[in-house]
Chain A
Amino acid sequence: MQRVVITGQGTVNALGKNVSQTLEAFKNGTCGISDLDFRDVDRLSIKIGGQVKGYAPEAEFNRQQNVLYDRFTQFTLLAAKEAVAQSGLTFAGELAAKSGVVLGTAGGGVTTWDENYRTVYEEGKNRVHPFVVPKLMNNAAASHVSMTHNLKGPSFTVATACASSNHAMGQAFQFIRSGMAKVMLTGGSESMLCFGGVKAWEGLRVMSKDACRPFSANRNGMVQGEGAGVFVFEEYEHAKARGAEILAEVIGFSMTSDAADIVMPSKKGAARAIAGAMKDAGINPEQVDYINAHGTGTTANDKTECAAVADALGQHANDVMISSTKSMHGHLIGGTGAVELLACIMALREGVIAPTIGYEEPDPECALDIVPNVARQAKADVVLSNAFAFGGLNAVLALKRA
């Protein structure tokens, strides 16, 4: 089995247009959730989100690119550019053939669907732009990353709702670990902050109208975010041989299915995924210093997740730090695990644990050390990142300090 390390990271999200801005926000406990700004927002009852503001696609991409790139693809390409630049890699010849891209997204080009449904239904037009399909397809982002960076190995898109990014990164990890690939770009993105996207979520009645307060007794739902996170996963010897800076090592991954309910989470399924990731990594619960929680801020997730952590870690659950950065960037759905991995790497590299902000009242059902409201200086050698999706699909990653 090959060892797998991370040699590049990139992001665009409500907290920042790159990694350094995002980490700064994590350290300061900044909230990136604000009033949503898009057409017909007045017809929504949910009017807040972790929206990427002050972003102009024309400043980043030319006209020909923008007619082909949905917002979720744009975010992905910007994040990938940052990650690849940091890694210092260029892909050609044999390396290009052994490198690929696996990304997560739940909805793909939701804004493109939304705008074109308006055209044909609301405006009654019978003609749409010729690139609607290549723009909205879920694999558009992965394909454009492969084209932009000349990645000719295994590439595809994973869609497992809120666990998409973790499933994608787990696949990338396994490809390199097994020797099938040398380098994988991986992570995920989401951009469903448009009228139709938020309206659909409203229907489920799990959204908060005022804030995302994970683990707080007065939490009242999730808040949606948008953006992308992309990482360069690289085979350890390859990275070492070229003297690359290693940000962290990926040491384990596990995925389980609840096989129970299409929306309600299961403690057992989540606990099996957490335990599975530790087993795959060859670590004991006592070695885990920090868990980046799924922590959506819904009643159901947060108490189930805390119970699952207690199950999987036993006594050590009382000592482990666990925080939800969704309180700051919102829930990026299919892209969320990727942006949250930034907090995991920050913990390992810098010894700073990102806080769970918006925490107001203790909940006896969430009685863990959730690093409330302010970031904490604490050494972390091993971390886990949880993602539990609608449909009962769970994916947990384990990382180690480089």
Chain B
Amino acid sequence: MSVSVEEQVIAIIAEQAVLEPSDIKLTASLDDLGIDSMGLVESIFAIEEAFDIQVPFNANEPEESDFDITSVASIVKAVKALILEQKPI
């Protein structure tokens, strides 16, 4: 259980981008990584499964969602916030 949230999110994104996790920069956007809208919804599904959380995201209006997908770093931050909110220790 020592794998961090950041490492897990990066692993999920790397799989979608067909890249090695080491090639995923935190500053990269999903566009930079070649992840399209289908890859995005699949990543969100994988994140929900991995952390057992609900991600508030509507593919019709991604910019309106609370879930910030601007960069890998923003996704990691958003996932951490959702874990705290939905699974308080």
Contacts and interface: CB of A to CB of B under 8 A. Distances in A.
B41 interface: yes
B63 interface: no
B1 to A, nearest CB: 22
A131 B36 CA distance: 14
Size range of the chain B interface in the assembly: under 10
B48 A127 contact: yes
B42 interface: yes
A130 interface: yes
A127 B45 contact: yes
Interface in A125-164: 127, 129-131
Nearest to B42: A130
A127 B41 contact: no
A130 B48 contact: no
Contacts of A67: 42
B30 to A, nearest CB: 15
Interface in B38-83: 38, 41-42, 44-45, 48-49
A129 B38 CA distance: 11
Contact of B49 (A63, A64, A127, A131): A127
Contacts of B41: 130
Contacts of A63: 15
Interface in B3-25: 15, 18
Contacts of B38: 130-131
A321 to B, nearest CB: 50
B48 A131 contact: no
A127 B44 CA distance: 11
A7 B39 CA distance: 37
A63 to B, nearest CB: 8
A239 B59 CA distance: 45
Nearest to A129: B45
B66 to A, nearest CB: 18
A226 B3 CA distance: 43
Contacts of B45: 127, 129-130
Nearest to A130: B41
Contacts of B15: 63
Interface string A52-75: 000000000001100100000000
Nearest to B54: A127
A64 B18 CA distance: 9
A63 B19 CA distance: 13
A63 B41 CA distance: 16
B18 to A, nearest CB: 8
Interface string A231-253: 00000000000000000000000
A115 to B, nearest CB: 15
A43 B15 CA distance: 37
Nearest to B44: A130
Contact of A131 (B18, B42, B44): B42
B14 to A, nearest CB: 12
A114 B21 CA distance: 33
B47 to A, nearest CB: 11
Contacts of B44: 130
Residue among A63, A64, A67 with the most chain B CB within 10 A? A64
12 contacts: A64-B18, A127-B45, A127-B48, A127-B49, A129-B42, A130-B38, A130-B41, A130-B42, A130-B44, A130-B45, A131-B38, A131-B42
Interface of B: 15, 18, 38, 41-42, 44-45, 48-49
Given A127-B49, A131-B42, 12 more contacts: A63-B15, A64-B18, A67-B42, A127-B48, A129-B42, A129-B45, A130-B38, A130-B41, A130-B42, A130-B44, A130-B45, A131-B38
